[in-house]
């Protein structure tokens, strides 16, 4: 039986084999070869694609290059969503490697946030962590930490250092001994088919009678369409980090072990493949 700590490592070290291809209308001086990379599920596109950018810029003229952006089958990919979430939501039931198209022109202003520097990614990442702690601990734990601790969370993510990250993050996963869990669970539920980008609401991990709420309880409350009736056909999959956790799993456990580094559970509801 795997130890709970092994789950933390499996989540951290998850990778997606990806093939980056330059958009055909980009103007190049030579033919652009595709670039292959193993992307960390827990990171962000603009944080881990410096090599991709350099590779394609080599075959382009300087003046043709402005802010890089990524697209999958016509859909601009939101760099501020973790890579694993983007893959689960858009491409989990397609063949590997994941084929992403790279653009340097016509930035889609209406769809994507700008990402002019690593500072923007850091600010976004830290904002998510702070919001998660507002839900879990009324911001008490994050506010008690020093700036250097905040920095260590970011550096751990940026440099892929599991131990460095978790040395601080474990404090964000604790709760007072008199409680059985966090105040509210930080989560977001995504469905590619809706205009609303995600569902997020207040949800307590412990019921008034003291029982642990499950993933199924959360879905029933926040997204009932994801849970089909017993006699009906299960038309959707509920996916976190590329797997379908059992609906009976306590949500407190999922929050502690399968959150992304931003401390949120990012849950995808996707169509079940028919084969």
Binding region for another protein (CB under 8 A): 78, 80, 109-114, 120, 123-124, 127, 130-131, 134-135, 139, 143-144, 186, 194-202
Strands 98-103 and 187-190: unpaired
* Cα distance between residue 117 and residue 112, in whole Å: 15
Which alpha helices (H) appear in the chain, and where do they start and end?
4-12, 45-48, 50-57, 83-90, 118-137, 140-144, 147-158, 162-172, 215-222, 251-257
Pick between residue 198 and residue 253 the one whose CB is nearest to another protein.
198
Pick between residue 96 and residue 127 the one whose CB is nearest to another protein.
127
Shortest Cβ 75–another protein spacing (Å): 12
Pick between residue 128 and residue 240 the one whose CB is nearest to another protein.
128
Pick between residue 131 and residue 149 the one whose CB is nearest to another protein.
131
Structure tokens at 157: 């993510």
Pick between residue 134 and residue 167 the one whose CB is nearest to another protein.
134
Shortest Cβ 21–another protein spacing (Å): 26
Shortest Cβ 196–another protein spacing (Å): 6
HSE (side-chain half, CA atoms, 13 Å) at 219: 24
Strands 69-72 and 15-22: unpaired
Shortest Cβ 35–another protein spacing (Å): 27
Shortest Cβ 145–another protein spacing (Å): 12
* Cα distance between residue 94 and residue 99, in whole Å: 10
């Amino acid at each position: 039986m795997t130890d709970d700590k092994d789950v933390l490592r499996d989540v951290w070290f998850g990778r997606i084999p990806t093939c980056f291809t330059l958009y055909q209308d980009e103007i190049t001086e030579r033919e652009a070869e595709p670039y292959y990379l193993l992307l960390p599920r827990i990171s962000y596109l603009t944080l881990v694609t410096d090599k991709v950018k350099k590779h394609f810029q080599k075959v382009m003229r300087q003046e043709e290059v402005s802010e890089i952006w990524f697209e999958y089958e016509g859909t601009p990919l939101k760099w501020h969503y973790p890579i694993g979430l983007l893959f689960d939501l858009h491409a989990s039931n397609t063949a590997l490697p994941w084929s992403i198209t790279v653009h340097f022109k016509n930035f889609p202003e209406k769809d994507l946030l700008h990402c002019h520097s690593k500072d923007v990614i850091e600010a976004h990442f830290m904002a998510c962590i702070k919001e998660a702690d507002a839900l879990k601990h009324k911001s008490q734990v994050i506010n008690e930490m020093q700036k250097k601790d905040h920095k260590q969370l970011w550096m751990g993510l940026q440099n892929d250092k599991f131990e460095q990250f978790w040395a601080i993050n474990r404090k964000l996963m604790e709760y007072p001994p008199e409680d059985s869990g966090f105040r509210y669970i930080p989560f977001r539920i995504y469905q590619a088919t809706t205009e609303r980008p995600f569902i997020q609401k207040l949800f307590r991990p412990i019921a008034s009678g003291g029982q642990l709420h499950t993933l199924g309880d959360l879905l029933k409350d926040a997204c009932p369409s994801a849970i089909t009736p017993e006699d009906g056909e299960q038309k959707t999959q509920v996916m976190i980090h590329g797997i379908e956790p059992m609906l009976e799993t306590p949500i407190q456990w999922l929050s502690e072990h399968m959150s992304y580094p931003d401390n949120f559970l990012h849950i995808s509801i996707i169509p079940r493949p028919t084969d």
